[in-house]
Structure formats: structure tokens, C-alpha cells
Amino acid sequence: MEFTTTSKGNCSIIALIGEIDLQTSPPAREQMLDALKKKYHLMVDMSAVEYIDSSGIASLVEGFQFAKTHNLTFGLVNISQATRQVLELARLDRIFLLFESLDEGLAAIKE
Amino acid sequence: MDSTKLSRQLAREEFLARAGELKGLRKMIRHQLTNEGCEHAFVERMVLAITEACMNIIQHGYGTENTGSFWVEILSDGDELTFLLTDSAPKIDIATLQSRALDDIRPGGLGVYFIKELMDRVEYLENEEGSNVLQMTKRMA
């Protein structure tokens, strides 16, 4: 798994790439929480995620909850089919903010 | 698995009880089930369920010992797949692995739910050597 981090204004954008599993979810979690702790809103680009399991989902839930507690926006953008299927299985597609594009996600950020 | 049908062993492979082994495990499952004619979405569901079960062996079975291993065996009778995961970790109290309620939104607690949701039958057994055997079966799609 790899990731890239960019920012736009007060929003951090992390693109997760590859397989997010028990081995690779800790650095992804750390990266997401680092951005949120700096009070950045966060959009996670999931378009290149080929596989995600419960450990990866747990990292997303942790980021989501941290953001909610601190009045930050946490969104998932461009989610891959592999990610969508697991989110639907866990019924988290109804909980997370899902966006079709980064622009859509950025527009949804509440100041 | 229908006991009147002869099952074929598709694979039997040993993995170290380490998170770094999971990528190779998934590759093996994808290869075997694709060769068996299973469609992509079905293969990925099986990959998820088996990976989750192996994560439980690594995290909750061997825990921080990080020295054990487990075997993954895949059988097919043409209609149904059987996955056998065998390990020699200390026995786990299955009650401690119960899945959380889906509306209880918190990190963790989804692995067992995924396994039960994706498989037709899940049984925790013990073999003649006293090892833990998790038997999961699924009708092929």
C-alpha cells in the first residue's frame, strides 16, 4: 500500500493506493489522524484501493469519529468497487460521507 | 459439503502467523478460486472472509508471540467450497470474538461479522492432534 498526501486550503487529501490490510492499515491510520490533529478537514481518495478489510475499515471509522468530535469534515471520494462492497457489507456506506469527486467533497466542507 | 460427493483438494499451504503473510495468502486464494471458475466478485468475498479469519488467528490466537503458523486448505466438490484453517495457538474463547452491532459505530468488531455474513456455514472444531480447525463452507457462485 502506498499513499500520497496533498492539500487544498484547509483540507488535506490523502490518496490510498493498493491493499489496505492488517499490515498496511496502521500507517494509513497514522497519516489520516495526523492530518485531522492539525485541524485539517480530510478527504480520502479511495479510487485506487484494490482491497480493504476490517482493519482498514477500523482506521476509517477512527478518522471519521475523530473528525466528528472535532467538528471537521471527513469524506471518502471516488471509492473503488472493492471499497464500496466492503462498506456496504458493514453498512457504513450510510454513515460515511461519500463523494463522487474531490470537487464535490471540497464543496461540502462546512467552515 | 455433501458427504456423498468426492472433494478435491485445491490447495494446502502453510503461512506464518504474521500480518505480512496476508498478501501472499490472498494471492493464493484468488489464483485457486479463479482457476475453479469462480467469478471475480465471489472470489473477492471469499478472500475477505478467509483473510479476516486468518487475522483472528494472528491477532487473537498467537497474539504477540508472533512465532506460530497456520495451514490453509481449500477443498471443492464442484458445488461447494470448504476452507479449513488449522493452527496450534492457545484456544480462543469464541465469545470474545463476537461481532459488534452494526449500528454501534466504532473501530473494530467487524471481522467475525464479515466471516458469518459471507460464508454459509462456520464451525470451530479440533483435530486429532488437538489443533484448532476453523471450517468454513460456501456454495459456489
The answer to whether the CB atoms of A58 and B19 lie below 8 A apart is no
Give the distance from residue A104's alpha carbon to the nearest chain B alpha carbon, in angstroms. Answer: 25
Q: A59: which chain B residues are within 8 Å (Cβ-Cβ)?
A: 107
Please give, one letter per residue, the 3-state secondary structure of chain A: CEEEEEEECCEEEEEEEEEECCCCHHHHHHHHHHHHHCCCEEEEEEEEEEEECHHHHHHHHHHHHHHHHCCCCEEEECCCHHHHHHHHHCCCCCCCEEECCHHHHHHCCCC
pLDDT digits (tens, 9 = 90+) for A29-51: 999 999 999 999 999 999 999 99
B48 and chain A in contact, CB less than 8 A: yes
Give the distance from residue A49's alpha carbon to the nearest chain B alpha carbon, in angstroms. Answer: 13
Q: Identify the pLDDT of residue B5.
A: 72
The answer to whether the CB atoms of A19 and B41 lie below 8 A apart is no
pLDDT, tens digit only, all 141 positions of chain B? 555 678 899 999 999 999 999 999 999 999 999 999 999 999 999 999 999 999 999 998 898 766 899 999 999 999 999 999 999 998 876 666 667 666 676 667 799 999 999 999 999 999 999 999 999 999 997
Q: Is the interface score ipTM higher than 0.90?
A: yes
